[in-house]
Amino acid sequence: MNLQNLNITTATRWVLLTLAVVLITVWALTTANPVNAQSDALPKPGGVNVQTTQGSLEVSVTWTSVSGATSYRVRLREAGPGNSLTDVASPTNTSATIEVGGFGEWVVRVEACNDNGCGRGSAVRFTVVDVQGSASGSSEPTSTPEPTAQGSASGSSEPTPTPEPAPQSSASGSTNTGSSGSEPLSLFVSFKDQKLVWTKGVAFRKVLPATQGGTDPITYSLEHERASVRNELGSLPAGVTFTASTRTISGTPTTATRMWTFLTYKATDSATPPNSVEVVMLYLVESNIQFSATIPDMEFTVGQDIGVVQLPTATGCDACSYRIMPLRPQGIGRRGTTLVGTPTAPTNSPVTVTYEATDSLGYDKSIQFRITVNPPVRISGGRVPSFRSGVAINPPHQLPAATGGTGTITYSIHRIGRSLPTGVTFDSATRSLSGTPAQPTSRYWMWYQATDELGSTHRERVWLGVD
């Protein structure tokens, strides 16, 4: 009987020991990792707002502080699938200033944190617009919230994003108050389509995007009602019209513009009261400068006046001014739309010259050509071996070739009042003296001359005689 009691007591002790180990393990795990339970209790920061300035990469993010949070975490990624979040700022309890990596659509996520970790975050998608000359303090377009994953644990990776539309700049209207069940009125214009660039004198046609949701019918307009925000608002350029019924901008601009002009594309539905959304757009009309002809490459000779070389004029611009870049070869200058001067030094190789026309608005057009300046023509003279009377000059005696000059060089022998010995001729193509001298003559000199295509010449004396 005592033996049986002893066995029961031992079994009981093993059961109690096993339960104790389990309890200790659970207590240790709970004590060591309370993060998820406490951090998940931190709510998402509310009132997240993003302020941007067109033309600037600096972005201001603000939010409402969360009770129980001791710090905040701000992360950023470029909008679109496959892009991961990166810590980008050291925020205060309600704000952070960050610099994005480029113009386009981005997503910022703000998380409240304490000693146990960070809770779920609030994400907002926004667009940074590349526009120079915008008014100070502008914040177009308005940032829009981005859905976040539910129930994500503190510190876990951002869930794989779902496919997003192409980069857009959006203006969101208020919740539709019209017919029951209708979707909120919204208007999306891609970043690319926000900037309209046209060319003076060139016809175009562009259909602007339609809205989504709202109560039909929807009316569209291009308005200039934001004058209190922007100082460069204006109407469409001359020759361009907007057809509201088809949301179409079309026409042929007749004047160029110096800088970007702001317009507001607005859509209004038929709800009661009506809802409206708008997007700021910009246009620029560039000049259409064209040259009437190309410029052929040119060759000149040192010391030879180039005369007046006419360059082509430009069309499509008013009050065009002209210039030549870089520096021209020495001695050559520009006078209006012509080249003049006398080259003073040769070029080692062709010099590429840019000829540019600029209109009164600062638009320009350029064409290029090359100038080569050759050394001056140089020739040598000297004594010619004596010929013998009655004996043919065989082989013909060839005089030296010239150096330098431009193009084909022509040769001649001449002297006022003198001529070659009777029976002797000069072939300019081969620079050769040939024939059969008819009678003896004493030695005398004549000019041996070389001339290039531009008229540059050089001559030296040669001495002739017949024994």
Contact 78, 104 (CB under 8 A): yes
Three-class secondary structure assignment of 387-401: ECCCCCCCCCEECCC
- DSSP one-letter code for 418: B
Tokens standing for 269?
């539905």
In degrees, to the nearest 5, what angle opens at C-alpha 256 toward C-alphas 252 and 260?
Answer: 105
Which domains, ranges and CATH numbers included, belong to the chain? Answer: 40-146 (2.60.40.10), 179-286 (2.60.40.10), 290-374 (2.60.40.10), 382-466 (2.60.40.10)
| Among candidate residues 205, 230, 201, the one with its CA nearest the CA of residue 359 | 201
The mean pLDDT of the chain is 78
Cα–Cα distance, 334 to 371 (Å, whole number): 13
Most confident by average pLDDT, 182-191, 216-225, 286-295, 376-385: 286-295
Least confident among 59-63, 89-93, 140-144: 140-144
Q: Which of the pair, 56 or 158, is modelled with greater confidence?
A: 56
What's the pLDDT band for 20 if we cut at 50, 70, 90? low
- DSSP one-letter code for 226: T
Which H or E run contains 280?
A: strand 276-286
Which H or E run contains 457?
A: strand 457-466
What's the pLDDT band for 325 if we cut at 50, 70, 90? confident
pLDDT of 84? 82
What's the pLDDT band for 408 if we cut at 50, 70, 90? very high
Cα–Cα distance, 459 to 447 (Å, whole number): 6
Cα–Cα distance, 289 to 365 (Å, whole number): 6
Task: List the end-to-end C-alpha distance of the chain, in Å, as a whole number.
Answer: 165
298-320, pLDDT tens digit by residue? Answer: 999 999 899 999 999 998 887 88
Q: Which of the pair, 133 or 332, is modelled with greater confidence?
A: 332
pLDDT of 13? 56
Beta bridge partners of 79: none
Could you tell me where the DSSP H helices lie in 69-227?
Answer: 191-194
Percent of the chain surpassing pLDDT 70: 76
Q: What average pLDDT does range 232-238 have in this prediction?
A: 68
Contact 22, 98 (CB under 8 A): no
In degrees, to the nearest 5, what angle opens at C-alpha 224 toward C-alphas 223 and 228?
Answer: 145
Contact 423, 390 (CB under 8 A): no
pLDDT of 87? 85
* DSSP string covering 126-161: EEE---TTPPTT--PSPPEEE---TTPPTTPPPPPP
Contact 359, 289 (CB under 8 A): yes
pLDDT of 448? 92
Q: What average pLDDT does range 68-74 have in this prediction?
A: 90
pLDDT of 129? 82
Q: Which of the pair, 11 or 215, is modelled with greater confidence?
A: 215
pLDDT of 295? 92
410-464, pLDDT tens digit by residue? Answer: 999 998 888 899 999 999 999 999 999 989 988 889 899 999 988 889 998 988 8
Helix (H, G, I), strand (E, B) or coil at 448: strand
What's the pLDDT band for 28 if we cut at 50, 70, 90? very low
Q: Which of the pair, 80 or 401, is modelled with greater confidence?
A: 401
Residue 397: exposure state from Cβ atoms within 10 A (0-12, 13-18, ≥19): middle
Q: What Å distances lie between residue 264 and 145, 148, 467, CA to CA?
A: 23, 31, 102
111-167, pLDDT tens digit by residue? Answer: 999 888 888 888 898 888 875 433 323 333 334 444 433 333 333 333 333 333 333
pLDDT of 33? 41
Q: What Å distances lie between residue 235 and 91, 245, 257, CA to CA?
A: 42, 19, 12
192-211, pLDDT tens digit by residue? Answer: 888 889 999 999 999 999 98
What's the pLDDT band for 29 if we cut at 50, 70, 90? very low
- DSSP one-letter code for 236: P
Percent of the chain surpassing pLDDT 90: 30
What's the pLDDT band for 180 if we cut at 50, 70, 90? very low
Most confident by average pLDDT, 88-97, 316-325, 441-450: 441-450
pLDDT of 191? 78
Residue 359: exposure state from Cβ atoms within 10 A (0-12, 13-18, ≥19): buried
- Strand locations in 29-90 (E): 46-52, 58-64, 71-78, 86-87
262-285, pLDDT tens digit by residue? Answer: 888 899 999 989 998 988 888 899
Cα–Cα distance, 444 to 187 (Å, whole number): 99
Tokens standing for 303?
């010391």
pLDDT of 39? 44
pLDDT of 2? 43
Q: What average pLDDT does range 158-179 have in this prediction?
A: 36
pLDDT of 182? 58
Residues counted in the chain: 467
pLDDT of 194? 84
pLDDT of 146? 45
pLDDT of 311? 93
Q: What share of the chain is helix, strand, coil (3-state, %, to 5)?
A: 10, 40, 50
Beta bridge partners of 113: 71, 118
What's the pLDDT band for 224 if we cut at 50, 70, 90? low
Contacts of 156 (CB under 8 A, 6+ apart): none
Q: What Å distances lie between residue 315 and 160, 291, 320, CA to CA?
A: 55, 6, 9
Residue 259 has pLDDT above 70, yes or no: yes
